[in-house]
A and B are shown apart, each in its own frame.
Chain A
Amino acid sequence: MENRTPQVFFALSLIVLALLMGAIFQASSPAWKAYQHQFYRLEAQQEPTAAAKESVMNGAVSIRQILLPGLQRVDRCTTCHLGVDDPTMAKAPQPFTYHPNVGPHLVARFGCTICHGGQGLAVDKTNAHGRVAFWSQPLLTKDYVRASCGRCHKEGDVPGVPELAEGRRLFETHGCRGCHKLNGVGGSIGPDLTEEGANHRQPEWLKRHFLDPNSLSPSSPMPNFHFTDEQARALTFFMLSLTSEQMGAYYSSVRVIPSPELGRKLFAEKNCITCHSVGGVGGRTDSPDLAGVTRRHSIGWLDEQLVNPEMISPGSLMPAYELGSNERKALIGFLNVATAEDAMQMLTGRPKALNPEAALIEAGKQNFSRFGCVGCHGLEVQGGVPNPNSQGGEVPSLVHVADDYTKVEVAKIIRNGKMPPLADAKKPAPPLYMPAWKQMLTDEEISRIVEYLWSLQPKKEAAW
């Protein structure tokens, strides 16, 4: 060993040198540098003079990042996607293509990943596009990008994204809450969906699960609702929007989209028609008519009027409504186009008042749907959802419940829950069971549901 010791030492130190150079080389030649050079060449082509071309070609080669503390992220996508806000790059090849139609969502203010997904901190393609292990928000395909609108715009319709509204509607009407909690309300048979958009951000998986739950979750008791492809897609959009984002003040303030439709809804909700006529319809004589009001007053004046009526019009009886800035914008947008017809609709379109008994039953019906009972007991309360090893093998119909139980007994079952009796004591317990709702429903709400169930019976002379 001795004789060759210095040679071994020399050889090893050469290997160390080689490995060190390897590590340095690896760190010095990331792909984004090549992309930036390529982009500068593209830009230079547009420059008229050689001097201008030269100056563009010598542009800084560095990582670009957009700091978004209000969205709790850092996006470095623009390191390669350099043409995102440059209309002259509309025809350029990716990654340099211009991003059209961002609307109010300026790249400098919103970054990229809040809509598109991906890993903003990374600067190489594979990691940045987020289709890697341990990154739960990969890039969304073009199909599903607009689902991200629902991450911020959680209430109201989003223009251009009808799937979101449809998905929300389907969720409420098909009784999903019977098994799944959402924002604290719902059953515990299935997983809580409040953060589903963060937990399962794979649109294809979600859609397939809606179309055929057991194909992806073999032991799941989730029934097959036989959704159409469109419905599954809408529900997937809704799922993808279920993330909880902690947003800075600016982003929270612009969540509500100020559309005239929202304005109409607010006008009806706040009952403005009670005091203000529109085009001569409705209102009282002591309050101004609002048709064409946007031509008589500036938008700023109207906005201030909504915030603080007493200050703008001393002696005014108009209350100060606590409306956010986008909500006020929406109202003013509606007033811009409001006509006497709209006022007429608001006055007559109100549903006829129900008698107290019918109102109770209607409330019960609403609750039955809202809290998800229809998910297991069916849209027509007919039962039928498979429940292996329960007596009868399926979730029971409740149409004739008045025959077998008293109202008190039914209310108790709703309050405390019930395990279905086993068909075979030796086999495992059925996966579906009646959850206990006493934490989530008041006694009032429970009694209304009971009234609704009783109303399903053909009228009987029953004394109890």
Chain B
Amino acid sequence: MNRRAFFNWSVAGLAAVWSAVGIAVGAVARFLVPSVFYEPPQNFKIGNPGDYSFGAPTLLPDEKIFVFRDQEKGFAVASAVCTHLGCTVQWFASDDRFHCPCHGSIFTANGEVAHGPAPRGLEWFEVTQARDGQLRVDKSRVVPASYRLVVKA
């Protein structure tokens, strides 16, 4: 074959090889992204509305959330993880605030920082009602502090 043909075929071959390489790199990148997480789920059920009392929030220590239930306004779920360095905060009914035992951060009932080294307020998570009536929390969806879920009794 003449030089021109040789050259053209070579270019075509190289183009095919490099595109294969490019696609392979993309496949490897997708390969490295995990498809399952060996962690507790972000989206989980926390029981029936009737399980939760009014007034002081209920701490779920394993899921690290507070569940608020208000007579008129309904349910709200806040993170119990201090935004400073990750300790679990406690609710003190005496001053209606969250206190962090580690470095003294204090959060208001709305989750805003009242005092202390914490840089940000506590997050509020979306809570919805699943089809079997249970409450479902989705930690991957952050909502404003004013969010409430009103549950039909």
* Complex Cα spacing A20 to B23, Å: 8
Complex contact A20–B16 (CB within 8 A): no
Contact of B131 (CB < 8 Å), options: A3, A23, A65, A87: A87
B87 close to chain A: CB less than 8 A: no
Residue of B nearest to A86 (CB): B131
B102 close to chain A: CB less than 8 A: no
Residue of B nearest to A17 (CB): B20
Complex contact B132–A24 (CB within 8 A): no
Question: What's the least CB distance linking A250 to chain B, in Å?
Answer: 11
Q: For A13, A17, A24, A88, which residue has the most chain B Cβ atoms within 10 angstroms?
A: A13
* Complex Cα spacing A89 to B17, Å: 50
Given the known A-B contacts A3-B1, A67-B38, A86-B132, are A20 and B9 also in contact in the complex, defined by CB atoms under 8 Å?
Answer: no
Residue of A nearest to B16 (CB): A13
Complex contact A63–B44 (CB within 8 A): no
Question: What's the least CB distance linking A65 to chain B, in Å?
Answer: 6
Residue of A nearest to B39 (CB): A67
Complex contact A7–B132 (CB within 8 A): no
**A 1-38 binary contact with B (CB < 8 Å = 1; else 0):** 00110110110011011001101100000000000000
Contact of B17 (CB < 8 Å), options: A13, A63, A67: A13
> Across the interface, which residues of A come within 8 angstroms of B131, CB to CB?
86-89
B contact residues, range: 20 to 34
> Across the interface, which residues of A come within 8 angstroms of B41, CB to CB?
67
> Across the interface, which residues of B come within 8 angstroms of A108, CB to CB?
44-45
* Complex Cα spacing A20 to B44, Å: 38
* Complex Cα spacing A21 to B22, Å: 12
Within 8 A of A (CB), among B101-151: 130-132
Given the known A-B contacts A63-B36, A88-B131, are A16 and B20 also in contact in the complex, defined by CB atoms under 8 Å?
Answer: yes
Given the known A-B contacts A6-B9, A10-B9, A10-B16, are A87 and B132 also in contact in the complex, defined by CB atoms under 8 Å?
Answer: yes
* Complex Cα spacing A67 to B35, Å: 14
* Complex Cα spacing A21 to B10, Å: 22
> Across the interface, which residues of A come within 8 angstroms of B40, CB to CB?
67
Complex contact A13–B20 (CB within 8 A): yes
Instruction: State the interface size on chain A (CB cutoff 8 A).
Output: 26
Complex contact A17–B16 (CB within 8 A): yes
* Complex Cα spacing A24 to B26, Å: 10
**B 9-32 binary contact with A (CB < 8 Å = 1; else 0):** 110110011011001100100000
Complex contact B23–A24 (CB within 8 A): yes
* Complex Cα spacing A13 to B130, Å: 52
- Please name 18 pairs of A and B residues whose Cβ atoms are closer than 8 Å in the assembled complex, sorted by A: A6-B1, A6-B9, A9-B10, A10-B12, A10-B16, A13-B17, A13-B20, A16-B20, A17-B23, A21-B23, A24-B23, A65-B36, A67-B39, A76-B36, A85-B45, A85-B132, A86-B131, A86-B132
A-side residues, CB < 8 A to B, are 3-4, 6-7, 9-10, 13-14, 16-17, 20-21, 23-24, 62-63, 65, 67, 74, 76, 85-89, 108
Q: Nearest 10 CB-CB pairs, A to B?
A: A6-B9, A13-B16, A10-B13, A9-B13, A86-B131, A13-B17, A17-B20, A6-B10, A88-B131, A10-B12
- 12 A-B pairs besides A20-B20, A63-B35, A87-B132 with CB distance below 8 A are A10-B16, A13-B16, A17-B16, A17-B23, A20-B23, A65-B36, A67-B38, A85-B45, A85-B130, A85-B132, A86-B130, A87-B131
